[in-house]
Amino acid sequence: MAGGKTSGSCSRFQANIFNRNKCQNCFKARELHLQNELEMEQPQEETQG
């Protein structure tokens, strides 16, 4: 995946110099970035019977 149009946040959150709560790259809230990580990292539990 390269050069995709992400709806909002960028790949990684970078604390802004002026606004630490905002990202210096996309100027979005840190929460938006955290969500991305959570979505990507999903623990898949395989039940063996």
Question: Per rule CB under 5 A, is residue 29 in the interface with Zn ion?
Answer: no
Q: What's the rounded Cα separation, in Å, for the pair 26 and 7?
A: 10
Q: Which is nearer to Zn ion, 30 or 43 (CB)?
A: 30
Q: How far is the CB of 42 from Zn ion (least distance, A)?
A: 21
- C-alpha 4/C-alpha 30 separation (Å) is 20
Q: Tell me which DSSP letter residue 37 carries.
A: H
Among 15, 16, 18, 23, binds Zn ion (CB under 5 A): 23
Question: Which residues contact Zn ion by CB under 5 A?
Answer: 9-10, 23, 25-26
